[in-house]
Amino acid sequence: EVQLVQSGAEVKKPGESLRISCKGSGYSFSSFWISWVRQKPGKGLEWIGRIDTSDSFTSYGPSFQGHVTISVDKSIRTAYLQLNNLKASDTAMYYCARPGYCNDDSCRDLDNWGQGTLVTVSS
């Protein structure tokens, strides 16, 4: 069974940094990319970016470029999303998800999702 297990909820102050983890199991980890998706309270889904777990190639959505960093440690089958200089507007649920297929040009459906990590930024 494919599983993506994310790290637990976080409460941070404005200006702090945070790294969320996503550990994959039940499949060949380096054969699939990982994407990250944000969902603000009561709102829709926003695509943050993606990483090729085999060679760490990354790409980001225009709204997130320069504000987040996606990385991977394939030796422990774990992808990461780093958020720097946190603001109250970063308060959201963050999901990792596995695209069914990706290449350098595009990705398709997200066929497996992590349980989500709730990030609260408050002074």
State yes or no: residue 21 binds another protein (CB under 8 A): no
The residue among 90, 114, 89, 112 whose CA lies nearest residue 101 is: 112
- Our CA angle for 80, 83, 89, nearest 5°, is 135
User: How many residues bind another protein, per CB under 8 A?
Assistant: 28
- Residue by residue, what is the 3-state secondary structure of 74-94? HHHCEEEEEECCCCHHHCEEE
The pair of structure tokens assigned to 105 is 């040009």
Give the one residue of 8, 41, 44, 66 binding another protein; rule: CB under 8 A: 44
Least distance CB 58 / another protein (angstroms): 12
Alpha-carbon dihedral 6, 110, 78, 114, rounded to 10 degrees: 10
Cβ proximity to another protein: between 36 and 80 the closer is 36
Of 19-27, 47-55, 69-77, 80-88: span binding another protein (CB under 8 A): 47-55
Asked if residue 25 binds another protein (CB under 8 A), the reply is no
The distance of closest approach from Cβ of residue 108 to another protein in the complex, given in angstroms and rounded to an integer, is: 4
Residue choice 45, 71, 76, 85 for contact with another protein (CB under 8 A): 45
